[in-house]
Amino acid sequence: MKRLSFAWILAVVLAILLPMTVFASWDIYYCSAEHDYDGNGSYDDPWSCTTDSEFDHVVDKICDYGGGILYEIVEDGYYRHTIEWDDDVCDVTDSVFYHGYPPDTGLTLPPPLIFGGAMALGIALLAGGVVLFRKRPAN
């Protein structure tokens, strides 16, 4: 019976803690060479970085926010720039090109819904196992 109690407590704790970790701030920003208007830095409304001066302006904005990761979306893929402070100077410390779309830009289901659904499925399977265990014939 201790194992069953532990499983229930673990399921409740995970159901509460997992959605809270999803909302942790990652400081991820987006700019696009294909847009000519200035957005808010999100994937849906990226900053414009069609020229070098616009890109430098975006880097300055991210430095004002304390640094972070910038995904520069271009025609054939995207660049992942790491922007951070080093000896009182904020600059791009790493740039890598990738083909395809930036990460976390696919399915738009909210992560708490996905984690909550997985937890509900796990609890349903656990409850089904308890019911089957109790209904088995005694030997």
- The pLDDT tens digits for 4-54 are 666 667 666 666 665 544 444 458 899 998 877 778 888 888 899 888 899
Q: What's the predicted TM-score (pTM) here?
A: 0.58
pLDDT at 4: 65
Q: Please state, in angstroms and rounded to a whole number, the distance separating the CA atoms of residues 17 and 29.
A: 26
Assign residue 6 a region: left if phi > 0, alpha if psi is -120 to 50, beta otherwise? Answer: alpha
Domain count, the chain: 1
Confidence of residue 110 (pLDDT cuts 50, 70, 90): confident
Q: What is the mean pLDDT of residues 111-119?
A: 86
pLDDT at 13: 62
CA distances, 114 to each of 12, 17, 88, 117 (Å): 16, 14, 41, 5
Confidence of residue 81 (pLDDT cuts 50, 70, 90): very high
Confidence of residue 98 (pLDDT cuts 50, 70, 90): very high
| Residue 130 scores a pLDDT above 50 | yes
Q: Which domain holds residue 129?
A: 2-135
How far, in whole angstroms, is CA 38 from its chain's centroid?
Answer: 23
pLDDT at 33: 85
Contact between 126 and 18 (Cβ < 8 Å): no
